[in-house]
Amino acid sequence: MLHAALYGDDDQAVILTYAWDRLLIDPLPGPRRAADFTGLERLTPAVWAVPAQARPIAPAGSTLPRLAAELPHTFALLDPYQGAEGLTHQLEDLVSHLEPESIDLLDVGGDILARGDEPTLKSPLGDALSLAACCQVNAPVRLLVVGPGLDGELPPADLGDVLGPVVHTFTANDVEAISSILEWHPSEATALLAATARGVRGTCEIRDAGLPVPLTDDSPTVHEVDLDDAASRNQLARAIMATAHLDEAVACSREICGYSEIDYERNKALWLKEQQPTKLDPAAMWAQLGQFEAEARARGVTHTTFRRITEALNLSGSQRDELRQLLISSRPEQYDAPLWHIPDEA
């Protein structure tokens, strides 16, 4: 969406990204690396592309091959297992090969601007690694923050003093090109961004923890942020710049933030393994959904994501699509694409 809005549809982008789909898609904790896939194509000596025919090696899961199949851009794998030094090398290798006219570091939500001690911060590691690498690459990088607060990690008010000028505000027209992808892709932050670009306003609950996210007129905005200002705020990014292994970065996260999201994923994966698989029973589901909606309404919630509903009803990630189709077909009036609307009255 950002590429089309800022650069037009004529040229294609290379999107360098993590294969880190969380437990809803990938039952293995942490990010995937090149060895976790078949069918990758070498883009440079240090960077692998993820084409449509690539497949994660079971039991791993990844949305990247399907994204590559449905979008015209090249998806390349950001592999953090050699720490920030490895990421820096990958970036420099790619820049040398492509000689791009621009390099944008894109973060949805703004947690890349976290200090590290915020009580609402949940997943700082991937952002900090990307920021650390971009600060060290020998090329100009522009940092763009999209949808302040939409990932539920930092309140928008905490970002006001560092957000720079608005370079774009997404509209419904921007969303059209990816609307079909949002029918299956589980990204909550992108779903909220798309919904607010279409005019949805209110409060949306996301994730397993039910984090409340305000949907406002500022939600679909794209801000430019000074890269050095971001690094001066982000203690974790500064601490991991010389790391040569992911484990070193994880240890820094534990020390600075008090936790690591990989530890959280490991613990949750073990807990999920012990749970008995639940069959999706429509009759029982409607009663559970009614209770969930009533409680959410009492919390002032107007919308939620299908990931949130799936986990609130104690269903597995593999049942998300089936649940989503059942809800939309039964109550299409509550589908505020790509979110689920919670009406004022039951």
Q: What is the residue extent of each domain of the chain?
A: 2-170+220-239, 282-341
Structure confidence at residue 66 (pLDDT): 97
Which ranges of the chain does DSSP label H, i.e. alpha helix? 2-7, 22-25, 64-70, 83-98, 125-136, 172-176, 188-197, 227-233, 235-239, 246-257, 261-274, 282-298, 306-312, 320-330
- With beta carbons less than 8 A apart as the criterion, state whether 330 and 174 touch: no
**pLDDT surpasses 60 at 161:** yes
Residues 83-129 have pLDDT tens digits of: 999 999 999 999 999 999 999 999 999 999 999 999 999 999 999 99
The tokens for 239 are: 């601490």
Task: Tell me the C-alpha distance between 194 and 174, whole Å.
Answer: 9
Average pLDDT estimate for 215-228: 97
**pLDDT surpasses 90 at 49:** yes
Local confidence band at 346 (pLDDT 50, 70, 90 cut-offs):
low
Q: What percent of the chain has pLDDT over 90?
A: 85
Mean of the per-residue pLDDT values of the chain: 94
Task: Tell me the C-alpha distance between 194 and 189, whole Å.
Answer: 9
Of the two residues 272 and 1, the one the predictor is more confident about is: 1
Residues 175-211 have pLDDT tens digits of: 999 999 999 998 999 999 999 999 999 999 998 888 9
C-alpha distances out from residue 258 to 36, 133, 136, 147, Å: 29, 22, 26, 26
At which residue do the structure tokens 């484990």 appear?
A: 247
- With beta carbons less than 8 A apart as the criterion, state whether 191 and 339 touch: yes
**pLDDT surpasses 80 at 275:** no
**pLDDT surpasses 70 at 277:** no
Average pLDDT estimate for 234-240: 98
Local confidence band at 244 (pLDDT 50, 70, 90 cut-offs):
very high
The pTM of this model reads 0.94
